[in-house]
Amino acid sequence: MTDDEPAERIRTDGGTAEGADDVALDPWGSSTVSDYRKLFEEFGIEEFDEVLDEVPNPHYLMRRGVIFGHRDYRPVLDAMRDGDDFAVLSGFMPTGDPHIGHKLVFDEIIWHQEQGGDAYGLIADMEAHSARGIPWDEINEHSRDYLLSLIALGFDPEEGELYRQSDNDRLQRLAFELGGKANFSEFQSIYGFDGETNVSHMQSVVTQMADILYPQLDDPKPTVIPVGPDQDPHVRFARDLATRMRFFKVTEAFASFELDDAERPLVAAAHDAREEYAEDADMPRCGEAAEWLADADLDAAGVLVSESVRESAVEKLENAGMEPLRPRIRFFARQATDEAFEALIEDIEGEKRRYDQHIDAFDMDVDEAEELAREVEAHHGGYGFIPPSSIYHRFMTGLTGGKMSSSIPASHISLLDAPEEGYDKVKSATTGGRDTAEEQRELGGEADKCPVYELYAYLLTGDDDELAKEVYDECVGGERLCGGCKEQAATMMREFLEDHHEKREEAEEILDSLDIDLETERRGVAAEH
């Protein structure tokens, strides 16, 4: 990509499938999203565009908008740029053959590993057995296929870790601890579980939470989870559990009373404006701040809140009366041991005040406080988890239109397909072309609705942005007709599969040398539904 050809010029909208589902994030249900923009509004997923310029050497999936959203990705980017430790992890449920949709996640793991991250790839065999009822012998076979393709595409197992959920004892112990912080009402609200849900399915969810936090077991570090947006409920739940496991909660405070997250910016604004109202600007009083806040133009101060929040903050300030309004960092002892609490007090430098369940520190900022709290926790037997980050990619449209599904062979290209079979599937694929060649030349094709163009953008053109843009522009400009376009794509797919099969054969020896049991016999019967 050249400087005068920005990433926006070569993007695909992901070919939203006709008849796609409304926005509903279900990890075991639909794998389509009708309007990706609603994810920003309804679920708080942030646009990846906002951080794209901060990414060193961005992957082409990022440049082309295939990776469209993120949740708190900046800590990972900061670590990446600064040469600090960070990790990437994602998993695969072995319910069928790995296909080109899964390759998106493979590529994201591998790219982060190449940027210096500790990389983890896991087989979600407990989830496959409990949620989908897949027999263990099939799980064994599919697991091997996923791992071979991951290694063949460039994952370095000597610098990363591959594992099966069911064989990882440390993971199981972590899942047990996390389960103590979760309750059934959350499973109901997040996943829709009810009295008919089997216990193994619920256990597999806690195991997935442990998967997401597993890279931080030995050392807390920023960790990114590359997934499709349907997996966002898992990420949000894991972020909540990571916080609940912490010894200490760190917040900003301004007086002896507590503020909620909505009130805190208001009181901060009142402190910033103290020269306007305080008799002594070096020692503003809470009562003075209350009078100012009651009548302040908050829009001008850049604070957007409801009147009820303003009233609540004013009341707290009024009740504090003559108490000085003074910023400080507050450490709450959530579930810290007595030894950890005492150690934290000792390690806080500068002015501090100790209370029964919290400590106020006056000479440090939030980042310093978070780092200190995490260090003390980790040193005294806690986990010190950093809430995991995530990035989200668009779903590939099926070659026949609609969603790509492992259960519909014609809709996807398996990474195990023979090269000629891949060629034939592309040649038979639905396109975004017009009804006739004349209309195509006159109106241009609809590349943003074309599964074949997605193959170019998501896979076939690789890092060659110029080729991806050329295909797109020629299509929408009416210069490219579907017959020749599919022939080119089919030939490139055949070449990709030929190369991938050769690399899978080379990966056999590597996989066999790893300590992963792929022939384990399991007792028990697949979960009934």
pLDDT of 65 strictly over 90: yes
Question: When comparing pLDDT for 191 and 40, which is higher?
Answer: 191
Residue 217 near residue 174, CB atoms below 8 Å: yes
Helices (H) and strands (E) in the chain, counts: 22, 11
Residue 458 near residue 472, CB atoms below 8 Å: no
Burial-class residue 322 by CB neighbours within 10 Å (0-12, 13-18, 19+): exposed
The pLDDT assigned to 189 comes to 82
Across 99-127, average pLDDT: 96
C-alpha separations of 342 from 333, 336, 368, 379, 380 in Å: 10, 10, 18, 13, 11
User: Looking at the chain, how many residues does it have?
Assistant: 529
Q: For 336-354, how does the pLDDT look when each residue is reduced to its tens digit (9 = 90+)? A: 999 999 999 999 999 999 9
The pLDDT assigned to 16 comes to 37
The pLDDT assigned to 44 comes to 82
Q: Residue 468 is encoded by which pair of tokens?
A: 């991806």
Across 143-172, average pLDDT: 96
pLDDT of 9 strictly over 60: no
Q: Residue 470 is encoded by which pair of tokens?
A: 């050329």
Q: For 260-311, how does the pLDDT look when each residue is reduced to its tens digit (9 = 90+)? A: 999 999 999 999 999 999 999 999 999 999 999 999 988 776 777 789 999 9
The pLDDT assigned to 1 comes to 34
Mean pLDDT estimate for the chain: 89
Q: Position 45: which residue type? A: I
For residue 227, give the H/E element and its range.
strand 223-227
Please tell me the pTM assigned to this model: 0.86
Across 419-443, average pLDDT: 91
49-80 burial, b at 16+ Cβ within 10 Å, e below that, comes to eebbeebeebbbbbbbbbbbbbbbbebbbebb
Q: For 196-250, how does the pLDDT look when each residue is reduced to its tens digit (9 = 90+)? A: 888 888 888 899 999 999 999 999 999 999 998 888 889 999 999 999 999 999 9
Residue 26 near residue 16, CB atoms below 8 Å: no
Across 305-332, average pLDDT: 95
Residue 341 near residue 354, CB atoms below 8 Å: no
334-350 burial, b at 16+ Cβ within 10 Å, e below that, comes to bebeeebbebbeeebee
Q: Which of 29, 46, 388 is nearest to 212 (CA)?
A: 388
Q: What percentage of residues in the chain have a pLDDT greater than 90?
A: 71
The band of 523, judged by pLDDT with boundaries at 50, 70 and 90, is: low
The DSSP line for 358-414 is EEEESS--HHHHHHHHHHHHHHTT---PPPPEEEEEPPPBPTTSSB--TT-GGGS-B
pLDDT of 19 strictly over 50: no
Burial-class residue 524 by CB neighbours within 10 Å (0-12, 13-18, 19+): exposed
Domains of the chain, earliest start first: 36-246+388-393 (3.40.50.620), 249-380 (no CATH), 419-513 (1.10.240.10)
The pLDDT assigned to 7 comes to 38
C-alpha separations of 388 from 35, 67, 331, 368 in Å: 25, 17, 21, 19
For the four alpha carbons of 205, 209, 210 and 214, in that order, the dihedral sign comes to positive
The pLDDT assigned to 13 comes to 43
Q: For 472-522, how does the pLDDT look when each residue is reduced to its tens digit (9 = 90+)? A: 999 999 999 999 999 999 999 999 999 999 999 999 999 999 989 988 766
Outline where 3-68 has alpha helix (H): 37-43, 49-52, 60-63
